[in-house]
Amino acid sequence: MTSSHLIDIPAAGTQDGTLYVGFELSKSTWLIGLVVSGESRLSQHKVSGGDTAAVWQLISKRRAQAEKKQGRPVRVVSCYEAGYDGFWLDRWLGQQSITNRVLDSSSIEMPRRARQAKTDRLDLERLMRVLIRYEGGEPEVCSVVRPPSPSRRTPVECRANGTG
């Protein structure tokens, strides 16, 4: 599934040359958002949970399009909320030369006055706004979690990799 939505905060600057990638993770499916700096259209894609080949294909294709359009290299910055999946995704993204931010979900500002709808699509849009603002020089917009070293994996990561 692919869809595009306008987000209300344009990506940080037009000279930046950055592809922003957000992950809304669940056990069975992942919703992935992609937006290039200077654009306001967020494309959203669903992939099977843990399907790194599909993730890499999406990122590579969008990065190549952005590099062709801008005529220069485009860096990739991604984020997801810390949770059940642990930090294996952060390590995998790092191996692909992608700068990743694992965000503390309790630090992301939510509207408090009225009840807010809660869907993966809305959560992804909120996550993308936070990433763009954080990378644009607003570090107070969220807290970034520092992943433990690979030797200190979580029990969930050990079970997922068959090592514990």
Q: What is the average pLDDT value for the chain, to the nearest integer?
A: 81
pLDDT level of residue 12 (50, 70, 90 thresholds): very low
Could you write out the DSSP letters of every residue in 138-156? -GGG--EE-PPPGGG--HH
Q: Do the Cβ atoms of 10 and 40 come closer than 8 Å?
A: yes
Instruction: List the alpha helices (DSSP H) in the chain.
Output: 52-70, 88-95, 120-135, 155-160
Q: What is the pTM of this model?
A: 0.79
Q: What angle do CA 36, 28, 146 make, to 5 degrees?
A: 60
